[in-house]
Amino acid sequence: MAAGDVQQLLDHTPRHGTVGIRDYAILMLVARLELRSVEVARLLVDDIDWRAGEIVVRGKGRREDRLPLPADVGESLVAYVTGPRPRLDARHVFLTCKAPHGPIRADLVGDVVERACRRAGTRKVGPHRLRHTLAADMLRHGAGLTAIGQVLRHQDLATTALYAKVDFIALRAVAQPWPGTEAA
């Protein structure tokens, strides 16, 4: 998926109504912070430090990471939490829109991305594809695998290498013909 397609998903997500505001905030976390579906579903109100502009992400293996909270992501969260979010004593940020209200499941994040793809007219992808998109985009812009691994919060560089798949179009532009053969 191209980086522009990710922006299209955001541009075509409504920012009104209970579902639209919630889904936009979810998409912002997935597209801008590259959170996994389960990390979005586990996000607690206490995990957001509004004053410091940070968010605590509870990832794989009970790992907790503090990430900066970009202004646009923070604004989408504020719009949801102070707006149509059901008024419950729930600690989870994201709640179901239909009663009985409770924390969303991780698979709802995939549904949100799928609906955004349909609205934007792009091919259907899952939330994980957005992580691959970021890794490939960072690689194209000269970032090393170590930096990409830090952004994606990988513990193993081999995992990052799988995400940062080779950009064959960029590779063709710099590839040299094999010695003794003519360039095609």
Annotated catalytic residue, options 16, 60, 140, 165: 60
Nearest-angstrom CA–CA distance, 135 and 180: 35
- Within the chain, strands assigned E span 48-49, 54-58, 64-68
Q: What are phi and psi of 154, to 5 degrees?
A: -90, 145
Q: Which residues pair with 57 in a beta bridge?
A: 65
Annotated catalytic residue, options 22, 24, 36, 132: 36
SS3 36: coil
Q: What are phi and psi of 54, to 5 degrees?
A: -135, 160
Annotated catalytic residue, options 22, 42, 132, 154: 154
Q: Catalytic residue at 132? A: no
Q: Catalytic residue at 12? A: no
Degrees (nearest 5) of the Cα angle 15, 57, 35?
50
Annotated catalytic residue, options 42, 132, 153, 163: 163
Q: Check residue 96 and give left, alpha or beta (phi > 0: left; psi -120 to 50: alpha).
A: beta
| Distance (Å) of CA 42 to CA 21, 76, 121, 163, 179 | 18, 17, 29, 23, 54
Q: What are phi and psi of 149, to 5 degrees?
A: -60, -35
Q: Catalytic residue at 87? A: no
Annotated catalytic residue, options 92, 105, 128, 129: 128
Q: Catalytic residue at 80? A: no
Annotated catalytic residue, options 22, 85, 131, 132: 131
**Which residues are the active-site residues?**
36, 60, 128, 131, 154, 163
